[in-house]
Amino acid sequence: MPSAVFPHAAVDEVLRTVLARNPGEPEFHQAVTEVLESIAPALVERPEYVEAGILERLVEPERQVLFRVPWTDDRNRVQVNRGFRVQFNSALGPYKGGLRFHPTVNLGIIKFLGFEQIFKNALTAQGIGGAKGGSDFDPHGKSDAEIMRFCQSFMDELYRHLGEHTDVPAGDIGVGAREIGYLFGRYRKITNRHESGMFTGKGVAWGGAEVRTEATGYGAVFFLEQMLQRRGQGLEGRRAIVSGAGNVALYAIEKLQQRGALPITASDSSGYVVDESGIDLALLKQIKEVERGRVSDYAARRPSARFVAGGSVWDVPGELALPCATQNELDGAAAATLIRNGLVAVVEGANMPCTPDAVDAFRGARVLFAPGKAANAGGVATSALEMSQNASRQRWTFSDSEQRLQAIIVAVHDQAFEAAERYGAPGDYVVGANTASFVKVADAMLAQGVI
């Protein structure tokens, strides 16, 4: 029988190796530490996971591709960016996960995102493995022609690693409908195949799925609704503090409004806006989706709003917090401010937006906390629905697709909730989401042998 120290010693050993083997990758260390530190109860119950080296294998990507992306800008100068695709784990299905184009992208960021994706995808129960990719290319301020040339060069290398049964990318920060169009077009040209299922997030007119655009933000709000319902509460009339003004934030705001909540903020890398009368979503979408402008443009056109350059959106009081921009955007100090101001629930629309200090503070204050790998799983789950529709040449309606998304999120919520109870941490969705997903991946790896 394993001793009481058994799982902790095994976890410590793996964590030491991860730190030593992957220097200079703090976000990857953070993501691995959070998962491994919360799964001890599952390791006590199933010592064969440790004996079969599941932990050592899980933290090492199955394949990592790094490549040069040369392209020519509008002034005819050659630019060189770095491309990444980390194919982390395919025990449950083909590699699946987004592409991020942002100047802060490096291998450690892509590895943290790919690692999270393994567990998120397991929670969706859609038969998809985990991957992530991207580039340190910055789409801000580039012309459409530059974006197209960059995407084409990126795909000139990446195409050989993709395929509907191999690896299926989608969008993430800096990669939306425009970029996916250019990437998919180039893949189709190079391979001479109209292989719809090799990319998700496509335009609805050419193989994309209804609700994929809305799915991550909508799903995060469905998750929030489930958490509140378990406490006999609802969304109606609650002030919501949302960060970001991209894909996830815009559709989280949309669903919050449909449910009668009052989202009053949005942000981007220049600062945040507060609109006490509630965000005018049509105006924000016009500025962000059509004009590709800044949140300050919103305040300039809306008398009830004010723009705060820099600063922290988490200084604004509200009962609900939805960080939907980027990793580590909400730290311990911001958490303390939110809690002082009457916070009830936090839902991570982004991947790992709350620092470990912030998560500890929410736990200590008994604030409802939904970790990203559960709360933002609606995006990739709807990507899997897009893959199903592509494979069967079907097209489902918006309302049918939204119902499927909601059913998946309810199931993700219930798995996390029930696993938390079963493993001795009732109400702790971090423990619940991590253990429920880890057990699924570990069982598949165990069954498939040492590969």
Active-site amino acid positions: 132
169's tokens:
């990318």
The answer to whether 268 contacts ligand NDP (rule: CB under 6 A) is yes
Cβ atoms 200, 226 nearer than 8 A = no
Select the binding partner of residue 174 from ligand NDP, ligand 2IT, none (C-beta < 5 to 8 A, by kind): ligand NDP
Please give the full DSSP string across 299-352, using - where no structure is assigned: HHH-TTEEEEESS-GGGS--SEEE--S-TT-B-HHHHHHHHHTT--EEE--SSS
Cβ atoms 378, 216 nearer than 8 A = yes
- Residue 119's alpha-carbon distances to 9, 49, 170, 193, 416, in angstroms, are 23, 16, 17, 31, 12
Find residue 133's DSSP bridge partners: 85, 99
Select the binding partner of residue 96 from ligand 2IT, ligand NDP, none (C-beta < 5 to 8 A, by kind): ligand 2IT
Nearer to ligand NDP, 46 or 116 (CB): 116
Binding marks (x or -) toward ligand NDP, 91..130, rule CB under 6 A? -----------x-x--------------------------
Minimum distance of ligand 2IT from residue 129's CB (angstroms): 11
Cβ atoms 267, 325 nearer than 8 A = yes
Rounded Cα distance, 176 and 155, in Å: 15
Kindly tell me which residue out of 7, 83, 129, 171 binds ligand NDP, with binding defined by CB under 6 A.
171
Nearer to ligand 2IT, 7 or 207 (CB): 207
The answer to whether 354 contacts ligand NDP (rule: CB under 6 A) is no
Select the binding partner of residue 325 from ligand 2IT, ligand NDP, none (C-beta < 5 to 8 A, by kind): ligand NDP
Report the relative pairing of strands 95-101 and 129-135 from DSSP bridges: parallel
Kindly tell me which residue out of 94, 133, 174, 207 binds ligand NDP, with binding defined by CB under 6 A.
174
Report the relative pairing of strands 239-242 and 262-263 from DSSP bridges: parallel
Cβ atoms 211, 200 nearer than 8 A = no
Amino acid at 280: D
Minimum distance of ligand NDP from residue 103's CB (angstroms): 9
The answer to whether 326 contacts ligand NDP (rule: CB under 6 A) is yes
Phi, psi of 277 (to 5 degrees): -90, 5
Residue identified by tokens 């705001």 is: 253
Minimum distance of ligand NDP from residue 405's CB (angstroms): 12
Minimum distance of ligand 2IT from residue 52's CB (angstroms): 28
User: Under the rule (CB under 6 A), what is the footprint of ligand 2IT?
Assistant: 96-98, 117, 120, 170, 172, 200, 351, 379-380, 383
55-63, 187-195, 238-246, 302-310 -> range binding ligand NDP (CB under 6 A): 238-246
Nearer to ligand 2IT, 170 or 250 (CB): 170
12-20, 166-174, 191-199, 309-317 -> range binding ligand NDP (CB under 6 A): 166-174
Nearer to ligand NDP, 49 or 247 (CB): 247
Please give the full DSSP string across 246-271, using - where no structure is assigned: SHHHHHHHHHHHHTT-EE-EEEETTE
The answer to whether 248 contacts ligand NDP (rule: CB under 6 A) is yes
Could you tell me where the DSSP H helices lie in 125-211? 144-158, 177-191
Select the binding partner of residue 97 from ligand 2IT, ligand NDP, none (C-beta < 5 to 8 A, by kind): ligand 2IT
- Residue 449's alpha-carbon distances to 54, 59, 91, 443, in angstroms, are 10, 17, 10, 10
Nearer to ligand 2IT, 235 or 436 (CB): 436
Q: Which residues of the chain form contacts with ligand NDP (CB under 6 A)?
A: 102, 104, 171-174, 176, 216, 244-249, 268-269, 324-326, 349-351, 376, 379
